[in-house]
Amino acid sequence: MQILPVILAGGTGSRLWPLSREQYPKQFLSLQPPETPSFASTPSSLSMLQQTLHRLAELDARAPLVICREDHRFLAAEQLRCCVNQPGHLLLEPFGRNTAPAIALAALLAHESPESLSLDDSDPLLLVLAADHLIADVAAFTQAVRAALLLADSGKLVTFGIPPQSPETGYGYIKCGAALGAGFDVAQFVEKPDLNTAREYLVSGHYYWNSGMFLFRASSYLQQLSQYRPDILAACRQSVASPERDRDFIRIDNVAFAGCPAESIDYAVMEHTREAVMVPMEAGWNDVGAWSSLWDLSAKDTAGNVVIGDVLTAQTHHCYVRADSRLVATVGLENVVVIETKDAVLVAAKDNVQDVKEIVAQLKAAQRPECELHREVYRPWGKYDQVDSGGRHQVKHITVNPGEKLSLQMHHHRAEHWVVVSGTAKVTQGDKTWLLTENQSTYIPVGVVHALENPGKIPLEIIEVQSGSYLGEDDIVRFEDRYGRK
């Protein structure tokens, strides 16, 4: 039985703001709880996406298919590249349409264009996983997937249920029916309950948390989707009729996909099909839906605090305090979350962290950049940190990875001064090209075509001082770009 892992990596993780933002959401961050023995088998430096890939190691699986947003493509490609023995495929969604269409795209590619995924089986088992969940017991995860193989091979749509540890109101539930093989028939999918109902579920022993992980044949899912949501299937089939390869990416028809309804797999298929079965998975699963989840999972000090970074506490109890760029000190706090980044600070009662999304909504309404971008912004060639800005100036610390190059470009409104801090810069200005080394500098006038490249073996770091009447990132006219950006 051939397993094709399908990793859904299109979320935004707004409840983990300010660390998770639209252009760098939680699946690309390393959020593994510090100093927690149950996670000892997984390197703490890995992002959540990379941890998801890492836990596939003991399964006999093909190279994974990662589905992500168009504007996250370089992040996802770099993180896949850094995973040993995980070349993978990247399917780009031009816009989010929820899980039912995303999984349909994967199933159609596998079933109708298996060569696009290097498959020799046109009807593999799809192991559908979210890229932003934590699993402490990888061995138990592997065991549950293996236990579900026969059910999925027989045409069943397997969902994995998590034995509840508490009356959780933030998860949907699955009510199990009669025993079937390694699992149970699904009697009912239940929406997020209130606290009293969740307590009843916990006491009954018949309800499991809905993990959002699935295993089924590509053909089985497509058949059920055709029965219950033929409109979604038709739009997705048209979208992948002629998939295009672009570097590491598989692109679909944007116009066709724009007409696809947005729907979750639960609403579109699982709540209606008679082929749904649930296999229990007791593997230390957590969807890390809020900062309180990380407090629950992490090792704590004698005062019940989780502290990360340069943090001092006094008379502080049961708090989660994270400092990314400076000293954070707390006095007299209890059950509070404090998250510090280079450009934002969140202070929230631990019981109210689910409502952080309200702050994100306010940021969006005000069109503030803090909802989308960090001060430190990643690009396919490296990254930049916006150190300072004013009415007519901006200072950036730019890092260019070895062998990478910024686009050949020009600006209508700004001039730039570059000072090399370390490494070697290959500078193109007009029809001239030369090298700069540490402590050397150059000036790029307004309107002059230029490029910056790192020809060396170590990262190139420069300080860039911009000056002019307009300093927005959209004042870039690209003439050549090796990464395919417009």
Share of the chain above pLDDT 90, in %: 83
Examine the pLDDT at 166 and tell me if it is beyond 80: yes
H or E element in which residue 443 lies = strand 441-444
Q: Describe the chain by its helix, strand, coil percentages, rounded to 5.
A: 25, 35, 40
Lowest mean pLDDT among 145-154, 196-205, 225-234: 196-205
pLDDT grade for 248, boundaries at 50, 70 and 90: confident
Helix (H/G/I), strand (E/B), else coil: 15: helix
What value, to the nearest 5°, has the Cα angle with vertex 72 and ends 479 and 91?
Answer: 100
Amino acid, res. 105? L
pLDDT grade for 36, boundaries at 50, 70 and 90: low
Q: What's the fold here for domain 3-286?
A: Spore Coat Polysaccharide Biosynthesis Protein SpsA; Chain A (3.90.550)
pLDDT grade for 170, boundaries at 50, 70 and 90: confident
Nearest one of 143, 273, 257, 158 to 211, comparing CA atoms: 158
Examine the pLDDT at 35 and tell me if it is beyond 90: no
Domain ranges of the chain: 3-286, 291-359, 376-480
pLDDT grade for 45, boundaries at 50, 70 and 90: confident
pLDDT grade for 247, boundaries at 50, 70 and 90: confident
The mean pLDDT of the chain is 93
Buried b (16+ CB within 10 A) or exposed e, 395-432: bbbbbbbeebbbbbbbbeebebebbbeebbbbbbbeee
Residue 169 gets the label, from left (phi > 0), alpha (psi -120 to 50) or beta, of alpha
pLDDT grade for 223, boundaries at 50, 70 and 90: very high
Examine the pLDDT at 86 and tell me if it is beyond 70: no
What is the token pair recorded at 89? 């495929």
What is the token pair recorded at 173? 């539930």
pLDDT at 31: 86
Cα-to-chain-centroid distance, residue 68: 8
Distance CA 420, CA 423 (A): 7
Examine the pLDDT at 44 and tell me if it is beyond 70: no
pLDDT grade for 144, boundaries at 50, 70 and 90: very high
* Segment 108-125 mean pLDDT: 92
Q: What residue ranges in 247-369 does DSSP mark as E strands? A: 249-251, 276-280, 285-286, 306-308, 311-314, 320-323, 328-331, 336-340, 345-349
Amino acid, res. 78? E
Q: Which of the four CATH numbers 3.10.580.10, 2.60.120.10, 3.30.460.10, 3.40.50.150 does domain 376-480 have?
A: 2.60.120.10
pLDDT grade for 169, boundaries at 50, 70 and 90: confident
* Segment 405-419 mean pLDDT: 97
pLDDT at 39: 66
pLDDT grade for 246, boundaries at 50, 70 and 90: confident
Tens digits of residue pLDDT in 421-446: 999 999 999 999 999 999 999 999 99
**pTM for this model (two decimals):** 0.90
